[in-house]
């Protein structure tokens, strides 16, 4: 990994990247940057364009328009240099099923021009750190999904890339593999590697990423830190209240700081930027009108709210 020559460029620099499949615009002129040393999450629902983007960024798929630079190298015009900086774990298992893990790993190393001795030494270290060394002579067709995913990570890391692209690295794995991969992602990042991962799991993005781009229908809906994304939807915070008496919605909608009031069964949901003021006003109102409050709670924003907010179908 050569970090000295790349300090001036972002790890990933994307400008108006576009991909069409027939009439479908899978990726619609997206632009963003990933800073060196970040764990960057590309979060979006199924079919949002996450894998298509990764495939363009890693030189697997040719963009119809726009450009992508990895550590300063244009993936279209400077492909070899860009690819040497990249490690890829694709969506689908890409090792040879009839070959052992060890053979697959050595082949991957050869492909990237890693010298034999380095291949063998680094390969051994990697298999150990991913808990596969004991099973290195087993054909990969006999591997579990979690083992396959761990093997793909070792294959992606053998040539010591500066930027790791992981397409849904954790989804659908057993708990032990999930834990191991999460820990290794954090370690690899601490060593200075930039990590670009896709996911449709909000909790995972929240937990792992420094910055998150939310992609929906080929477009970037938001891009920020998990904390900032949560704050962005502070305005949609709410207070939920129910009373033992039947009351008119308008009474609650009239409270200052309430920006919307919805009745859901016996409960009222009051949208507000200032939940504290609303809670106090509800208590005062109850006293004035002689009402009994059955339940009263504040609903804080979650990244899930932000995600739903930003990816909801247009009405
Ligand atoms: N080779 C292809 N030919 C035609 N359409 C494609 C092709 N690859 C992707 N698409 C379409 O492009 C859109 C984006 O697909 P993509 O695989 O990038 O989504 P994704 O965000 O990775 O989804 P998922 O979470 O399901 O992996 C989808 O509508 C998909 O059907
Ligand atoms: Mg995908």
Span 247-292, pLDDT tens digits: 999 999 999 999 889 998 899 999 888 888 999 999 999 999 999 9
Asked if 108 and 74 sit in the same domain, the reply is: yes
Residue 300 to residue 182: CA distance in whole angstroms: 27
Whether 280 maps to a domain, the answer reads yes
Question: Is there a single domain that holds both residue 157 and residue 213?
Answer: yes
- Domain check: are 95 and 164 in the same one? yes
Give the total number of structural domains in the chain: 2
pLDDT value at residue 45: 86
Distance of CA 199 to the CA centre of its chain: 4
State yes or no: pLDDT of 142 exceeds 90: yes
Contact 186, 195 (CB under 8 A): no
pLDDT the model gives residue 307: 72
pLDDT digits 0-9 by tens, 37-55: 999 999 988 899 999 999 9
Same domain (yes/no): 204, 150? yes
Structural domain of 41: 4-227
Comparing C-alpha atoms, which of 138, 17, 130 is closest to residue 69? 17
pLDDT band with cut points at 50, 70 and 90 for residue 236: low
Q: What percent of the chain has pLDDT over 70?
A: 91
Number of H helices, E strands in the chain: 11, 14
Indicate whether residue 44 lines ligand 1 (CB < 6 A). Answer: yes
Does residue 257 sit within a domain?
Answer: yes
Strands 12-21 and 65-70: antiparallel
Is it the case that residue 3 has pLDDT exceeding 70? Answer: no
Is residue 206 located within the same domain as residue 295? no
Q: Is 49 in the pocket of ligand 1 (CB under 6 A)?
A: yes
Which ligand is nearest the CA of 45, by number? Answer: 1
Residue 237 has what pLDDT?
Answer: 79
- Listed in sequence order, the residues at least 6 apart from 100 whose beta carbon sits closer than 8 Å to its beta carbon are 136, 137, 138, 139, 140
Give the mutation target among 17, 19, 21, 23 for probing the ligand 1 site: most ligand atoms within 8 A of CB.
Answer: 21
43 lines ligand 1 (CB under 6 A): no
Of 12, 311, 261, 51, the closest CA to residue 161 belongs to 12
Task: Tell me the C-alpha distance between 37 and 191, whole Å.
Answer: 9
Do 60 and 156 have their domain in common? Answer: yes
pTM: 0.79
């Amino acid at each position: 990994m050569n970090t000295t020559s790349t300090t001036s460029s972002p790890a990933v620099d994307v400008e108006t990247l576009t991909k069409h499949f027939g009439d479908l615009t899978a990726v619609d002129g997206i632009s963003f940057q990933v800073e060196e040393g970040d764990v960057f999450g590309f979060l979006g629902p199924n079919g949002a364009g996450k894998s298509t983007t990764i495939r363009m960024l890693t030189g697997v798929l040719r963009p119809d328009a726009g450009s992508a630079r990895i550590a300063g190298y244009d993936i279209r015009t400077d492909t070899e240099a860009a690819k040497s900086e990249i490690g890829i774990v694709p969506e689908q298992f890409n090792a040879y099923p009839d070959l052992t893990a060890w053979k697959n790993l050595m082949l991957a190393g050869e492909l990237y021009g890693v010298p034999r001795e380095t291949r063998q030494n680094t390969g051994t270290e990697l298999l150990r750190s991913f808990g596969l060394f004991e099973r290195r002579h087993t054909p990969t067709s006999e591997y579990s999904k979690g083992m396959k995913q761990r093997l793909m990570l070792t294959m992606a890391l053998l040539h010591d890339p500066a930027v790791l692209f992981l397409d849904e690295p954790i989804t659908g794995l057993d708990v032990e593999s999930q834990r191991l991969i999460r820990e290794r992602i954090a370690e690899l990042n601490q060593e200075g590697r930039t990590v670009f991962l896709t996911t449709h799991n909000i909790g995972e993005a929240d937990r792992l990423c420094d910055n998150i781009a939310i992609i929906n229908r080929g477009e970037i809906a938001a891009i920020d830190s998990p904390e900032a994304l949560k704050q962005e939807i502070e305005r949609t915070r709410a207070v939920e209240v129910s009373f033992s008496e039947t009351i008119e919605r308008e009474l609650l909608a009239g409270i200052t700081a309430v920006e919307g009031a919805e009745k859901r069964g016996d409960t009222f949901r009051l949208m507000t930027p200032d939940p504290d003021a609303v809670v106090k006003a509800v208590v005062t109102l109850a006293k004035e009108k002689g009402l009994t409050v059955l339940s009263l709670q504040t609903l804080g924003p979650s990244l899930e709210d932000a995600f739903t907010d930003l990816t909801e179908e247009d009405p």
